[in-house]
Amino acid sequence: MKNSKVLYSIFLGIACIFLVYVCIDSVVTPIRFEQKRAEREVLVVKNLVNIRAAEAEYKLINGRYQGDLDSLVLFLQNTPKKEVMKEGSLTDKQLEAGLTELKATRILEKALAKAAAKLKIDDKDQLYAYIWENDRDVQSNGLSGFRRDTIYKNMIETLYKGEYTAENIDQITYIPYTNKLRFETEVNNDYTTSQGIKVPLIEVRAHYNTYLADLDNQERVNLIDKETKLEHYPGLKIGSIEAPNNNAGNWE
């Protein structure tokens, strides 16, 4: 009898401990899940932003978005970034007279070409100094001291500040915390607004089932169900192929 009471007490104690564990776990698991999710989404967002920057440069040059990430990587590796170095600005009076950046640049380019042929030099500083003092079109349009130079920089170094190289730039196309799963990328380069304006669209996505796959299954299922009921994408994404949204991220 005495032994039975001891065993009963032991079993009761174990049951109590188990119940306490279940209660604690029911509180800790969601907290732990959200902490891990937040940590991981920092890197997922980083890659989405990096892809957005690359796609913006691609559209600037090609007039459309690139839906194939391998082709986007090749673009980053092989295309220089064009930048215009500016010195001086057009006044309100010049703008009112019809002078634009494009017209001013063309006047300068024509003057520079004439000066280079005449002086037999290619030093830009000397050529600019000469046309500012001697070219009639430059002076009559008030462009003395006005300078526009087109330069070409390494696309990857310029966009990502040296964080990536041509050898590892493909890393931005992979979803962190996965076995090299790629972001889903979808483009609609033929979207036309109600005003008849053609606007290329892109959407890049990472579903919760990718970068959260190894975390608590029930918590992940609950999260997906919650976002789906709210008609939100269950994951992180930029852009939309349904309507222009300036390629905003759904976390912004």
* In the chain, domain spans: 2-78+165-239, 81-153
Q: Residue 26 has which token pair?
A: 């029911």
**Residue 194: its pLDDT value, please?**
87
**Which pair of structure tokens corresponds to residue 131?**
């046309």
Q: Say which residue, 26 or 202, is predicted with more confidence.
A: 202
Residue 131, CB-side half-sphere exposure with 13 Å CA sphere: 26
CA 228 to chain centre: 25
**pLDDT above 90: percentage of residues in the chain:** 84
State how far the alpha carbon of 94 is from the alpha carbons of 101, 106, 134, in Å.
Answer: 10, 15, 20
Query: Residue 20: pLDDT above 90?
Result: no
Distance CA(151)–CA(63), nearest Å, equals 21
Q: 122-164: per-residue pLDDT in tens?
A: 999 999 999 999 999 999 999 999 999 989 999 999 999 989 9
The pLDDT of residue 23 is above 90: no
Instruction: Quote the mean pLDDT of the chain.
Output: 91
Query: pLDDT tens, 72-111?
Result: 999 999 999 999 889 999 999 999 999 999 999 999 999 9
3-class DSSP assignment, residue 153: strand
pLDDT of 12 reads 55
Q: Please say if the pLDDT value at position 225 is more than 80.
A: yes
- Which band of pLDDT confidence, cut at 50, 70 and 90, is reported for residue 7? low
User: Residue 29: what pLDDT?
Assistant: 78
More confident residue, 159 or 5: 159
> What pLDDT, on the 0 to 100 scale, is given for residue 162?
87
Alpha helices in the chain (DSSP H): 2-62, 69-78, 92-96, 101-119, 124-134, 136-140, 155-160, 208-211, 217-229
pLDDT of 54 > 80? The answer is yes
In this prediction the pTM is: 0.80
**Higher per-residue confidence, 157 vs 2:** 157
- Give the pLDDT confidence score for residue 2 in this predicted structure: 53
